[in-house]
Amino acid sequence: QGAESVCPSCGGPTLEPQAERALVLELAKQQILEGLQLTSRPRITHPPPQAALTRALRRLQQGSVAPENGEEVISFATITDSSTSTCSSMLTFHLPTPRSYHLYHARLWLHVLPTLPGTLSLRIFRWGPRRKRRGSRVLLAEHQMTTPGWHALTLPSSGLRAEEPGVLKLRLDCRPLEGNSTAARQPRWLLDTTGEQRPFLELKTRPNEPGAGRARRR
Amino acid sequence: TPTCEPETPLCCRRDHYVDFQDLGWRDWILQPEGYQLNFCSGQCPPHLAGSPGIAASFHSAVFSLLKANNPWPLGTSCCVPTARRPLSLLYLDRDGNVVKTDVPDMVVEACGCS
């Protein structure tokens, strides 16, 4: 508390620089948590590998325009059931708690290994909770891939409703198309579903305000 | 808006740069590395009331003189933000998702007397 100096706003004594700095840092924390609608800073239990993070961000920066007032989310898959077949897997995503936002863009990024024998046909299902015996599944998209490397597969945003709060399961069913029968018989991993090239979802949302589009056009 | 100097008693913008390292938050806020936490402080004598706080036009200068010569100040006036801009943040949420969002009205760019 500086004896001689006076606060120009309220006329009270000013703060020592260290005290003012500590107050500013506390204010910054409050302001950011409020802005992100969080009650406390997130404790990250499973941070994605740095290499996977860097690669995903680099892919998104190419030509992606941040939605006005909206959000962009990258969600990395955890593999819950890599079945014995060459590339069918169950991918589980823990999505952020949905705020009053409208999902309008969804892409699944997959890395196809160089072992790809010719053309690969891939079907993507949304996997629901078990009803009766088998899990219920909804076909979201079907793609054919002929080259190894990264593929961004567009998904219908309307179909990506998370069953349990925040948990989305996608089932990948794929098979090499005929034509290269010798290769098709040799079961080899075709999709990279772990490590630094694990699949990730790219989602874009915008606020749900009614008529937001009209307001913007006006 | 004038940036506050130590001896500036009138309404001005006080600039503070906050590095997320100082908050110990660099592990979950990926971009940017910090941001400007500015706030407004200073007195608003009657003749400054209602002034935009930036380069005032001739009209508002005359208007201020009229107010200054008015012996009955119309209530008190406060030093408040008059222009703010959003802050774009890239951060990790508790499930390890990367979220990019714009937080509206985060950075005070100009102050003025209400």
For residue A18, give Cα distances in angstroms to A1, A22, B7: 10, 6, 19
b or e along A30-67 (b: 16 or more beta carbons within 10 Å of the residue's beta carbon)?
A: ebbeebbeeeebbebeeebeeebbebbbebbeeeeeeb
Name beta bridge partners: B18.
Answer: B35
Cβ-nearest to A45 among B94, B99, B100: B94
Residue pLDDT, tens place only, B88-105 = 999 999 989 999 999 999
The stretches in chain A having pLDDT less than 70 are: 1-4, 8-9, 62-68, 80-87, 98-100, 129-135, 161-165, 178-189, 209-218
Q: Do A48 and B96 touch (CB under 8 A)?
A: yes
Rounded Cα–Cα distance for residues A184 and A122 (Å): 14
Contact A9 B41 (CB under 8 A): yes
Distance CA A38, CA A42 (A): 8
Could you tell me if the ipTM is greater than 0.85? no
Mutation for testing the B interface, residue in A7, A29, A32 having most B CBs under 10 Å: A32
Judged by CB atoms closer than 8 Å, whether chains meet at A76 and B9 is answered as no
Suggest the residue from A23, A26, A29, A44 to mutate for an interface test with chain B (most B CBs closer than 10 A).
A44
d(CA A192, CA A173): 14
**B71-89: per-residue pLDDT in tens?**
555 567 889 999 999 999 9
Contact A9 B43 (CB under 8 A): yes
pLDDT in tens, A125-170: 998 865 544 567 889 999 988 888 899 999 998 877 655 568 899 9
Q: What is the pLDDT of residue A25?
A: 95
What is the rounded distance in angstroms from the CA atom of residue A154 to the CA atom of residue A75? 15
Helix or strand (DSSP H, E) at B62? helix B58-68
Residues of B in contact with A69 (CB under 8 A): 102, 104
Please state, in angstroms and rounded to a whole number, the distance separating the CA atoms of residues A117 and A120.
8
pLDDT of residue A215: 47
B114 to chain A, any CB pair closer than 8 A? The answer is no
HEC secondary structure over B25-45: CCCCEEECCEEECCEEECECC
Q: Which stretch of DSSP H or E encloses residue B85? A: strand B79-92
Burial A141-170 (b: 16+ CB within 10 A, else e): bebebeeeeebebebebeebeeeeeeebbb
CB proximity under 8 Å: A 83-102 to B: 94-96
Euclidean distance between CA atoms B107 and B36, whole angstroms: 6
Nearest CB to B99; choose among A48, A56, A96? A96
Which pLDDT band holds residue B54 (cuts at 50, 70, 90)? Answer: very low
**How close is the nearest chain B Cα to the Cα of A67, in Å?**
9
User: Residue A195 has what pLDDT?
Assistant: 74
What pLDDT, on the 0 to 100 scale, is given for residue A6?
Answer: 74
Are A82 and A192 in contact, with CB atoms under 8 Å apart? no
Nearest residue on chain B to A203, judged by CA atoms? B99
The better pLDDT of the pair B32, A129 is held by: B32
